[in-house]
Structure 1
């Protein structure tokens, strides 16, 4: 797929994920919109999986595609708050992403 087509479709998918995460956290940043596959580009996947990372005493939440590309991420928050929100996401039917999350550092 051409870069601009992949970027346009990926941006739509990532913005949808961003709004969904925003509903849970009150803030969500757009992250990946495309992924490179060899010499071509693909939009991030349509799937919306809940992911989380902890560092020190903080957690960040993500909405990922099935390959682990984070389409949206939260601000860092206390681990307890992050876990409560994460459990709500799962209770609302979002599948959990259990692999390595590919995110913007």
Structure 2
């Protein structure tokens, strides 16, 4: 989602400015996550990847991930959603609020 907003608006989230290096041999997991994220379904809030979305992605790409790789993709998504959780409302912040936060514009 952050990469898509950067691509569409040119605004770079602080989280993307100083990313740590990925452990060797895991770069493909980040690639998979980013590709899945670019097709994420979002309504009133940002939704987690569904198992059917994940299965469709790997099937279409003809990728057969190992269990740990699949778990890693899901954990990255869980961490992303946790970072978007709004304690005040008990909901996940919308993509619109994420864009406002990244651009420094106040919420309306």
TM superposition score normalised by structure 2: 0.27
Q: Which has the higher strand share?
A: 1
Normalised by the length of structure 1, the TM-score is 0.28
Q: Which has the higher helix share?
A: 2
Larger radius of gyration: 2
